[in-house]
A and B are shown apart, each in its own frame.
Chain A
Amino acid sequence: MTDLSLSPKTPARPSALAALKARLAAPPAAPKRVQFDRPLMPWLLLAPQLAIVAVFFYWPSAQAITSSFYLEDPFGLGSSFVGMANYTDALSSAEYRKIAAFTVFFAAVVAALSLAIGMVLAVKADKVIRGRSAYRTALIAVYAIAPPVAGLIGMMLFDQHIGPLVRFAALFGWDMKVGLDYWDTAIAMIVVAVWLHIPYNFIFILSGLQAIPAAVREAAVIDCASPLRRFLTVVLPLLTPTVFFLTIINLTYALFDTFALIDVMVKDKPANNPMTLVYKVYLDGFRGNDFGGSSAQSVILMVVVLVLTLFQFRYIERRVHYG
């Protein structure tokens, strides 16, 4: 279904939540005209997945919510109900707010840069025919690199002694101290995170571009002489669904999948270094043994992801209609 990028603009829809509700209430829209009628068999087929989902998804998720209302004794001798205290503690803490602010900044910059650079490369690769597959191969190779490996390589590139990027910055009189200076570390983290996620954006935009029918582009060439204007008025609107989808994916990536990267780059000296909210959940939970606080932060993050994903559902729904 690569023609997903061709979905025309939809008229205003009810809110994502309302759409979700409506979907839940609706009778099952049979995906097939004809289905098997066996009362037991579907349950047997679903059983393994349902069992795993119940034990490893719903149980922990429920526990996260419950323990977010309790304060656990540091020595593990019991816990007491504290209501919303864990939430108010987290939200009112200056440190938490600072990390939240950095997380938003980090996510926005990483999402925007990897989308923009991915798009420039995809548009160029779509244009040239010779070598297109070579460029794609090269970029896909980067996609497969694990975040901790990327973090390790990034750390070396920004190493105080041997890092070529630090030496390069020194040429402009910039004394980069990654791991020591807050903003220098932040910049290194952003560079590595963007580097790792450009290929994903590239792959999707390229396939989106190639799904635009040649006839549409030829019509645009006849109607409009300026290539830039053509891109902005014809190609980009047709890519909107892809771009929207990627924006959500990029934000989710920056929020969660960068954990390993940050863990490797910040190592065990988080004191003066930037970090994201997910990293803080981990630090407070496993290092600080503050289960309640960590759980409350988890729940806050769950809400953030929920909102992001509801946006995504809206997008998927749109795609289902036109795909």
Chain B
Amino acid sequence: MASIDIENVSKIYPGSTARSVADIALNIKDGEFIVLVGPSGCGKSTLLRMVAGLEDISEGEIRIGTRRVNEVEPAHRDIAMVFQNYALYPHMSVRDNMAYGLKNRAVPRPEIEARVAEAARMLELGPYLDRKPRALSGGQRQRVAMGRAIVRQPAAFLFDEPLSNLDAKLRVSMRTEIRRLQKRLGTTSIYVTHDQLEAMTLADRLVVLNAGRIEQIGTPLEIYHRPASTFVASFIGAPAMNLLDAEIAGNRLRIGDEVLDTPVSGAAGKVTLGIRAEDLMPADRGLSFTPDDIEDLGAQRLVHGFVAGQPLTLVISPATRVEDCRRLAPKPGALHVFDTLSGARLDLHTEHDSRPVLPVGQGL
């Protein structure tokens, strides 16, 4: 068990001047489950591989526990990694796959057997110990990959999109299982994914990355409720947050010809207004909305339409009639205002704002 400190780490690939990972600072507490999330190419895997020692660290320092590991071989960093394609050794049995790393460390045989048996019991792999990976289903292979990490009893687990090769149903159940195992073992974990739902459900703290930089760090709910930028706002949450071009004039938000009657103060001029689809309600007064298309999902229905010519999506209960949605009002405190140019969140005062202001996570 250990904390992991990532101090101003950058990755510059040879032959390139651009930073694929730029000046990342992140302190991970012992036992914490950190999820790195972002679109493909945002540098999240590179960062994870730098922690693992599979990529050189161009600048900065990484410490596992109190030890600087920049020059330490992956095998000596006391970490275990679960790969996207599992990277099981195809010619070894499940047992040997799990035991291989321990054998290389000259762990005594009875100890190896005990640890493998324990991991197999935890993951319900007992009946499959003597099978080769190709005789296993995708979910079972995933468990073997987990088992290989668990038997090592490392200071940290590193997960590189471990669920993305599984079908949707299995993904959900494995997600819960990973979470449960991690809580039970209390091992510090870094988990990379591009799936925001996976990120929300697994993380103690979430790190949203974009183009090699941290956009925001925080608990899933902090990030959901107070996205630090338009990028985070549109990336976390489904359906994505509505982002509308707006203008603040005379303490009122104006969207095209529509004016919201919530008073705002603290900024003026062109802004980007964010409203989550579930934060809009039918009302007698408010924004006039032109429905265009409806998706019925059973428990809820999504209504796509336009406000002042800009696309907007709305979530309503199946009982609500679309005809009643001609006029919409935001729930109190549900307005997010961002700088149009930088995309950064602007903290404004709105009169109805009754929620406590949540602290934005460190690093920003």
Interface residues of A (CB under 8 A from B): 27, 33-34
Q: Is the interface of A mostly helix, strand, loop or mixed?
A: loop
Residues of B near A33 (CB, < 8 A) are: 54
Binding site for A on B (CB under 8 A): 14-15, 54-55
Q: Measured between alpha carbons, how far is A34 from B50 in the docked complex, in Å?
A: 12
Query: Which chain A positions have C-beta within 8 A of B55?
Result: 34
With the chains together, A34 CA to B14 CA distance in Å? 14
Q: Chain A nearest CB: distance from B96 CB in Å? A: 22
For residue B15, which residues in chain A have a CB less than 8 angstroms away from its CB? Answer: 27
Bound-state Cα–Cα, A135 to B291, Å? 66
- Which 5 A-B residue pairs are closest in the complex by CB-CB distance? A34-B54, A27-B15, A33-B54, A27-B14, A34-B55
Number of A-B contacts (CB under 8 A): 5
5 A–B pairs (Cβ distance < 8 Å), ordered by A: A27-B14, A27-B15, A33-B54, A34-B54, A34-B55
Query: What is the interface of chain B mostly: helix, strand, loop, or mixed?
Result: loop
Closest Cβ of chain B: how far from A237's Cβ, in Å? 33
In the complex, residue of chain B having the shortest beta-carbon distance to the beta carbon of A30: B14
Smallest CB-CB separation from B52: which chain A residue? A34
**Bound form: Cα–Cα A27–B54 in Å:** 21
Q: Which of chain B's residues have a CB closer than 8 A to the CB of A34?
A: 54-55
> In the assembly, what is the distance between CA of A211 and CA of B55, in Å?
36
Chain B residues with Cβ below 8 Å from A27 are 14-15
Give Cα distance in the complex from A13 to B55, angstroms.
34
For B14, list chain A residues within 8 Å (CB). 27
> How far, in angstroms, from A27 to B55 measured CA to CA in the complex?
19
Given the complex of chains A and B, what is the CA–CA distance between A6 and B224 in angstroms?
46
- Bound complex: CA A175 to CA B24 (Å): 87
Kindly state the separation between the CA atoms of A27 and B14 in the bound complex, as whole angstroms.
10
Q: Which residue of A is nearest B53, CB measured?
A: A34
B84 to chain A, nearest CB (A): 13
Give Cα A189 to B15, complex, Å.
55
| Complex CA distance for A76 and B54, rounded to whole angstroms | 62
Q: Smallest distance from the beta carbon of B71 to chain A beta carbons, Å?
A: 11
C-alpha gap A33/B84 in the complex (Å): 15
Write the chain B residue with the least CB distance to A34.
Answer: B54
Bound Cα distance A252, B235 (Å):
58
Quote the shortest CB–CB distance from A228 to chain B (angstroms). 42
